Amino acid sequence: MLSLFFINILMVALVVGIHYESLHFLTRNLTRIKIKNRLKLVFGVFGALIAHAIEIIIYGGAYYYMHHANKWGQLRGNFSGTFEDCIYFSYTSYTTVGFGDIEALGRIRFLSGIESLTGIVLITWTASFLFLEMQRHWKIK
């Protein structure tokens, strides 16, 4: 159980660090780009989406490892064990959509739960970031 706790903490720290660095990079560089301010927001949105996709893929890698290690539990349902299926499951967990076509069984369930909580926080953080960028760059005349 202690190893599961450390895996969960490591995953949260990794994706929060990536998200922080991504938003920090965007904040620093959006002001430097020599394009219309409204287009800077588009770059901000795409940058944030790329950050989320990277974080989801990292969680997908953890699911892939845990599913195939045979000591953490398994993913079951409309699932063939491929890395792509793990990424799909990660997308549904991170966004808290949870279609239910893939089910986590065993200790791997804890990772899907913490991913959902982390996803909610990071998506909200992105929304706040984009709101602040809109205030900075979206001048109404």
CATH number at residue 60: 1.10.287.70
**Looking at the domain assignment, is residue 32 inside a domain?**
no
Split at pLDDT 50, 70, 90, the class of 140 is low
**Residue 40 and residue 33 in contact, taking contact as beta carbons nearer than 8 Å:** yes
* Spatial separation of the C-alpha atoms in residues 87 and 84, rounded to whole Å: 5
Asked whether residue 123 is domain-assigned, the answer is yes
Asked if residue 91 is part of any domain, the answer here is yes
Question: Is residue 86 domain-resident?
Answer: yes
Q: pLDDT by residue (tens digit) across 51-67?
A: 999 999 999 999 999 99
Domain count, the chain: 1
Tell me, yes or no, whether 101 lies in a domain. yes
Evaluate whether residue 139 is within a structural domain.
Answer: no
**Domain membership of residue 18 as a residue range:** 2-22+49-129
Q: Is residue 34 part of a domain?
A: no
- pLDDT category at 141 given cuts 50, 70, 90 is low
Tokens 């159980």 — which residue?
A: 1
Burial class (CB in 10 A: 0-12, 13-18, 19+), 107: middle
pLDDT confidence tier of residue 30, bands split at 50, 70 and 90: confident
Answer yes or no: is 40 within a domain.
Answer: no
The helix, strand and coil proportions of the chain, stated in percent and rounded to the nearest 5, come to 75, 5, 20
* pLDDT-based confidence at residue 115 (cuts at 50, 70, 90): very high
Residue 110 has pLDDT above 70, yes or no: yes
